[in-house]
Structure 1
Amino acid sequence: MCISVFMWQSHPLYPFLLLLNRDEYHNRPTKPVGWWECGEILGGKDEVAGGTWLACSKQGKVAFLTNVLELHTLPEAKSRGDLVIRFLESNKSPKAFAEELVEEGNQYNGFNLIVADLASKCMVHVSNRPKGEPVSIQEVLPGIHVLSNATLNSPWPKAERLEQNFKLQVDQYGEGEIPVEEMVEKLMRDRVKADESKLPNICSPDWELDLSSIFVEVDTPLGKYGTRSTAALTVKGSGETSFYEVYLGGDVWKQHTLNYHIQKL
C-alpha cells in the first residue's frame, strides 16, 4: 500500500510537486532512488519484480502508482511496477498510453496509475478497478490531489487528513519556495490512525486499522510491513527538478537528493 499527495499545474513556481510514501515489507529487496542503467530514468527499483512505484525521465515524463486494497489478489498477475517503466520508455502521450492498457487491465491486480508529460501539461489517471468494469481513464485537472488505495481523491480518512494538512502547508508558504524536506517530516511521518467506524470494510478490521495512518508500521508473521521510503519530487517551471528520498537502508533511515534539469520545460 502507498499514499501520495500532489499539486499539478496550480502553483506559480511548481508545475508539479509530489510527496509519496511507499509501503512494503521491509525485507523485500529494493534499490533506493537512482539513475537506471539506460541513464534516462530516475527512480527506485523493486529488485523482486524489477519495476518501480515512482520514476521520472529526463524528457519530462513522470509516472507513479498505488495498489488498490482488495481482499483477493491473483498470484500469477503481471507486475504493476512495469507499467511505470513502460510509460517512461515509450514515446506515447499519457492518454495514448492509458488507452493501450484498456485491453490488458485484467492481467494485473488492482492499480491506480498516474502518467504525466510535463512538457505538454497532460496528466492522466488510469485504474483497472472496480473489478469487472472497463479500465477507467481520467484526465487529472489542475489542483491538489490525493491517491491512496482506492480511486483518485477517494475520501478515505488518511487521504482527507493528508490533503488537508498539505493544503495548510502550501498556503503557509504562499507563492514562494516550499521546503519539501520539512514538509516530508511534518506530513508523511504521521502515525495517527483512523476512527474504526470510518474504515472501508474491505479486509479484516485489524489490518485496515494498521494501514489507516499515513506512515504505516506493523509487525506481521511475514516480517515488518510499512512505510519504508518517502519521496518528494518537485519540478519548477524552469525545468529544475529535485528528487528527495528518505529510505530504509537495512535498519537505518537514510536520505539523499538527486537533481537534474528537464530541457523541454
Structure 2
Amino acid sequence: MCIAAWIWQSHPVYQLLLLLNRDEYHSRPTKPVEWWGEGEENILGGRDELAGGTWLGCTRDGRLAFLTNVREASPHPNAKSRGELPLRFLENKQSPLACATEIAKEADKYNGFNLVLTDLCSKSMVYISNRPKGEPVIQIVPPGLHVLSNAKLDAPWPKVQRLDKNFGEFLRRHGEGEIPLELMVQELMTNSDKADRALLPDTGCNPDWEYELSPIFVDIDTKLGRYGTRSIAAISVKQCGEVSFHERYIESCMWKEHLIQFGIEKVL
C-alpha cells in the first residue's frame, strides 16, 4: 500500500528529502533500484516485473515521480496498472501540471491512486488523485513537510500523523546540516507500532486488515503469503543538484541495501 514522507523546498542543504516504504506481497517479482531504459529516457528506480511499471523513479534531467494506492474495499480486477503512471511523466518532457492534467482525463481507467510528479529544475511539484471517483484532484504541492499514505495528501491517518511528527522532530534534531540517508531510514521508516483500533480510518476494508496495515513498517503473514514493507527508499537532492538514492530491500528473504548517486544535468 506504501507510505511516503518528504520535505520540499524548506531545507538549506536539500531541495528535497524523500522517504518511501513500498508494501507488496514478497512473492511479487521485482527488480531493485537500478538504471533502466535507453538514451535520454534512462530511469533510476525499482521495477515491478509483473506489470512493468514503477512506484518511484527519477531521471538525470531532474524529473521524479512516485505513487501510492488509495485503499478501497473492491478494486477493479481489470483496471490498468497504476505502475505505468510514474512512467508517463518520467518518459516525456511535459511539466508536472500538464502531465497531471492529461492523466486526469483517463483517471477512471485505474484503481485508486495518489501520484506526485516533480520537476526539480523548475522547482514544481504536483499531486493528483483519482479518488473520489469521477472527481480527480490536482494540487500544487506547497513547500514544507508532507506525508502521503493510502488516502489524500496529508490525510490525518494515525500512521501519517506519527510519521509527520517523527520526521519533524528528526529534522529539528539534525539542524541545518547534512543528513545520512541510512539514519533517516532506520529511525523513521522501520516503526512497526500498530494504531489504536478506535482511531483507524473507515475505508470499507475489514477492520482487522486495517489494523494490520496501520504501522509505518508493515509485516503480515496472509493466506496468499508474506505481505508488507519489502523496500525502503530514501532520496536526497541537494541545492547544487547532487542526488543520492538509497534503497534497503528484500531479496531472497534477506535485507540488502545499496546507494546510487548522480548529478542532475540541468542547473537547479
Tell me the SS of whatever aligns to 1:257. strand
Give CA deviations for 1:96-124 in whole Å, capped at 9, x if unaligned: 00100121000000000000000001000
Matches within 5 A, 1:121-160: 121-131=123-133, 133-160=134-161
Matched letter for residue 17 of structure 2: L
In structure 2, the partner of 1:53 is: 55
The partner residue of 1:70 within 62, 69, 72 is 72
- Distance across 1 between alignment mates of 2:265 and 2:12: 19
After TM superposition, the structure 1 = structure 2 runs for residues 192-203 of structure 1, keeping only pairs within 5 Å, are 192-202=193-203, 203=205
1:18 paired with 2:18, answer yes
Task: Structure 1 unaligned segments of length 5 or more: list them.
Answer: none
Distance 1:218 1:78 in 2: 26
Paired amino acid for 2:62: G
Number of residue pairs aligned between Structure 1 and Structure 2: 264
How far has the Cα of 1:227 moved from its partner? 0.1
Q: Specify the alignment match of 1:175 in structure 2.
A: 176
Deviation, 1:205, is 0.9
- The corresponding residue for 1:33 is 33
Counterpart residue identity of residue 187, structure 1: L
**CA-to-aligned-CA distance 1:188-227 (integer Å, 9 cap, x gap):** 0100000000111221111000000000000111000000
Instruction: Specify the alignment match of 2:187 in structure 1.
Output: 186
One-letter amino acid of the structure 1 residue matched with residue 217 of structure 2: F
Match of 1:239 among 238, 241, 248: 241
Q: CA-to-partner distance for each residue in 1:223-251, whole Å, 9 max, x for gaps?
A: 00000000001100111000000000110
Report the alpha carbon displacement of residue 140 of structure 1 after superposing the two structures with TM.
0.1
Consecutive unaligned residues of structure 2, counting only runs of 5 or more, are none
* Counterparts of 2:173 and 2:187, CA distance in 1: 13
The partner residue of 1:43 within 35, 42, 45 is: 45
Letter in 2 for 1:209: Y
The amino acid that maps onto 1:25 is Y
What is aligned with 2:92? 90
Structure 1: 4+ residue segments shifted above 3 A: none
- Residue identity opposite 1:220 in structure 2: T
1:86 to partner: Cα distance: 1.0
Q: Secondary structure at the match of 1:58?
A: coil
State which of 235, 251, 254 in structure 1 corresponds to 2:253: 251
Displacement of 1:183: 1.3
Normalised to the residue count of structure 1, the TM-score between the two structures is 0.98
Deviation, structure 1 residue 37? 2.8
Instruction: Name the Cα RMSD after superposition.
Output: 0.7
* Deviation string, structure 1 residues 115-149 (Cα, Å, up to 9, x no partner): 00000010000000012x32110000000000000
Cα displacement string for residues 17-52 of structure 1 (whole angstroms, at most 9, x for unaligned residues): 100000000000000000013252100000000000
**What secondary structure, in the 3-state scheme, does the structure 2 residue paired with 1:149 have?**
coil
Amino acid at match of 1:46: D
Partners of 1:121 and 1:22 in 2: CA distance: 25
Partners of 1:116 and 1:98 in 2: CA distance: 11
CA contact (8 A) 1:101 1:135 kept: no
Of 224, 227, 238, 1:225 maps to 227
Tell me which amino acid in the other structure corresponds to 1:240.
Answer: E
Aligned equivalent of 1:216: 218
Q: Is the 8 A contact 1:3 1:147 kept in 2?
A: yes
